[in-house]
């Protein structure tokens, strides 16, 4: 990628760890920002060790830290805190996900940082936000998912609340944080002043809950776990095929349902009570059984060919194995492959969304711990080799 990303003039200092804060940094790096990740010199970000590994190397780290530079700095030392102050003085954005009050205890509160750099945007990602009675509690993404409402709605109705197979709450918080960062930078272009972006994980999840609250307060209706369906929205489900695959069909709109009925050879189903959205909703289970009885007679490829020809939205339930061989993924370069120094060719999902003139790109996989100490501290802080040795010998970096 030769075109600079749209954020190529933005410098981000990322002090967060795990996913919520670093996912914000990943999104900004994807679009060209210089993201300098500050890690503890003893252990680094725990994501370096978490998740599935190959040959002792985490397969999560190269993804979440892609496009970033790594420096080490012990923020629990006075000299380390001074280093971060200097980095923040020359940055546009500082991302952190410590408990509220931690930066302040280290002399790194926004008032002090803004005195050095009035244009700085401080992005703070926590479980519960910077204020309120729960602010100082430890908060993980899973707790945010529970409090934000998604856990109560995930799973089968006769079983305890479940979860998705990804860290949804953390990634949502990181996404909203990146959005907040861009809005704060846009405001700065008019005012010259930075500000604080306060993202709570539970609020990021809550933002996705559609009409959950008025349904309860106004209609007295409480949403519950419904498994693979949305009650009253039919047909929209995963249906079995003759060769053991699952195919999701979304035909809940009247005109699309009529096309599905034609593809099934059952145009009669589009008449009577099934003709309307409400009618299909009332007989949802019965309708799903009728459709499943048809899909079970066809292999997945044959079924999908018929549905696509009829203009019915449908798709196989993909695993990673399906994604890496799919021609549409390949045509749009939804997956890109970079060289890992130990693991070789390394596949990662590409940048979203796509910009026509200033697209983002995956520039590099996650760096080694402290890989950019000399480069960053030398260029930005003027530290020479003797200073770097002194910091290293003293456990500061």
State whether the Cα torsion 361-328-291-250 is positive or negative: positive
Domain range 236-321, CATH class: alpha beta
Q: What is the largest CA-CA distance in the chain?
A: 84
Q: Which of 170, 254, 288, 357 is catalytic?
A: 170
38-69 confidence digits (pLDDT tens)? 999 999 999 999 999 999 999 999 999 999 99
Task: Provide the pLDDT confidence category of residue 366 given band limits of 50, 70 and 90.
Answer: very high
Mean local confidence (pLDDT), 101-109: 97
Q: At what angle do helices 254-264 and 284-295 cross, to 10 degrees?
A: 40
Q: What is the pLDDT of residue 1?
A: 47
Q: Which of 120, 277, 142 is nearest to 196 (CA)?
A: 120
32 backbone φψ class: left, alpha, beta (φ>0; ψ -120 to 50):
left
Task: Provide the pLDDT confidence category of residue 272 given band limits of 50, 70 and 90.
Answer: confident
Which residues are CB-contacts of 344 (< 8 A; sequence separation ≥ 6)? none
Cα–Cα distances (Å) from 15 to 19, 28, 73, in that order, read 12, 14, 10
Q: What is the dihedral of CA 34, 38, 39, 40, to 10 degrees?
A: 170
| Secondary structure (H, E, C), 329-344 | HHHCCCEEEEEECCCE
Domain ranges of the chain: 11-208+332-393, 236-321
Cα–Cα distances (Å) from 296 to 250, 266, 316, 390, in that order, read 17, 16, 14, 70
Is a pLDDT exceeding 60 seen at residue 83?
Answer: yes
Mean local confidence (pLDDT), 141-151: 97
Is a pLDDT exceeding 90 seen at residue 170?
Answer: yes
Q: Which of 167, 333, 149 is nearest to 225 (CA)?
A: 149
Q: What number of other Cβ atoms are within 10 A of residue 129's Cβ?
A: 18
342-361 confidence digits (pLDDT tens)? 999 999 999 999 999 999 99
Is a pLDDT exceeding 70 seen at residue 237?
Answer: yes
Relative to beta strand 68-72, strand 57-58 is unpaired
Task: Provide the pLDDT confidence category of residue 2 given band limits of 50, 70 and 90.
Answer: low
Q: Mean pLDDT over all residues of the chain?
A: 96
Phi, psi (rounded to 5 degrees) for 242: -65, -25
Query: What CA–CA distance (Å, rounded) separates 97 from 38?
Result: 12
170 is catalytic: yes
Phi, psi (rounded to 5 degrees) for 122: -100, 115
Q: Which of 171, 103, 108, 99 is nearest to 141 (CA)?
A: 171
206-224 confidence digits (pLDDT tens)? 999 999 999 999 999 999 9
Q: Which of 326, 34, 47, 35 is nearest to 171 (CA)?
A: 47
Q: What is the pLDDT of residue 384?
A: 96
**The CATH classification of domain 11-208+332-393, taken from the options 3.40.50.10540, 3.30.200.20, 2.60.40.3670, 3.10.450.50:** 3.40.50.10540
Mean local confidence (pLDDT), 72-93: 98
pTM metric for this prediction: 0.95
Is a pLDDT exceeding 60 seen at residue 302?
Answer: yes
Q: What number of other Cβ atoms are within 10 A of residue 57's Cβ?
A: 17
| Secondary structure (H, E, C), the chain | CCCCCCCCCCEEEECCCCCHHHHHHHHHHHCCCEEEEEECCCCCCHHHCCCCEECCEECCHHHHCCCEEEEECCCCCHHHHHHHHHHHHCCCEEEECCCCCHHHHCCCCHHHHHHHCCCCEEEEEECCCCCCCCCCCCCCHHHHHHHHCCCCCCCCCCCCCCCCCCCHHHHHHHHHHHHHHHHHHHHHHHHCCCCEEEEEHHHHHHCCCCCHHHHHHCCCCCCCCCCCCECCECCEEEEECCCCCEEEEECCCHHHHHHHHHHHCCHHHHCHHHHCHHHHHHCHHHHHHHHHHHHCCCCHHHHHHHHHHCCCCEEECCCHHHHCCCHHHHHCCCEEEEEECCCEEEEEECCCCCCCCCCCCCCCCCCCCCCCHHHHHHHHHCCCHHHHHHHHHCCCC
């Amino acid at each position: 990628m030769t075109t600079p990303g749209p954020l190529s003039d933005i410098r981000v200092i990322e002090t967060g760890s795990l996913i919520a804060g670093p996912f914000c940094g990943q999104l900004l790096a994807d679009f060209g920002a210089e993201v300098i990740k500050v890690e503890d010199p003893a252990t680094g970000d725990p994501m370096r060790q978490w998740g599935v590994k190959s040959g002792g190397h985490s397969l999560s780290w190269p993804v979440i830290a892609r496009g970033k530079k790594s420096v080490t700095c012990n923020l629990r030392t006075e000299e380390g805190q001074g280093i971060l102050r200097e980095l923040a003085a020359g940055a546009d954005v500082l991302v952190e996900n410590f408990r509220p009050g931690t930066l302040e205890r280290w002399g790194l509160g926004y008032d002090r940082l803004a005195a050095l750099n009035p244009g700085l945007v401080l992005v703070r990602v926590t479980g519960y936000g910077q204020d309120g009675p729960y602010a100082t509690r430890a908060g993980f993404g899973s707790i945010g998912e529970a409090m934000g409402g998604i856990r109560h709605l995930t799973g089968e109705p006769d079983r305890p609340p479940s979860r998705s197979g990804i860290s949804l709450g953390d990634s949502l918080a990181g996404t909203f944080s990146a959005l907040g960062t861009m809005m704060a930078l846009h405001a700065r272009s008019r005012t010259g002043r930075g500000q604080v972006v306060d993202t709570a994980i539970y609020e990021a999840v809550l933002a996705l809950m559609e009409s959950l609250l008025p349904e309860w307060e106004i209609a007295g209706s409480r949403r519950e776990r419904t498994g693979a369906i949305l009650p009253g929205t039919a047909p929209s489900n995963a249906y079995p095929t003759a060769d053991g695959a699952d195919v999701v069909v979304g035909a809940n709109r009247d005109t699309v349902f009529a096309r599905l009925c034609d593809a099934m050879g059952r145009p009669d189903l589009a008449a009577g009570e099934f003709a309307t959205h409400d009618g299909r909703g009332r007989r949802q289970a019965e309708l799903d059984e009728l459709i499943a009885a048809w899909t079970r007679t066809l292999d997945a490829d044959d079924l999908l060919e018929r549905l696509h020809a009829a203009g019915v939205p449908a798709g196989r339930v993909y695993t990673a194995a399906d994604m890496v061989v799919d021609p549409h993924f390949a045509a749009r370069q939804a997956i890109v492959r970079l060289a890992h120094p130990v693991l070789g060719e390394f596949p990662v999902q590409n940048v979203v969304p796509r910009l026509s003139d200033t697209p983002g790109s995956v520039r590099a996989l996650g760096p080694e711990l402290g890989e950019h100490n000399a480069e960053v501290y030398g260029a930005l802080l003027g530290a020479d080799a003797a200073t770097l040795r002194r910091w290293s010998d003293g456990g500061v970096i």
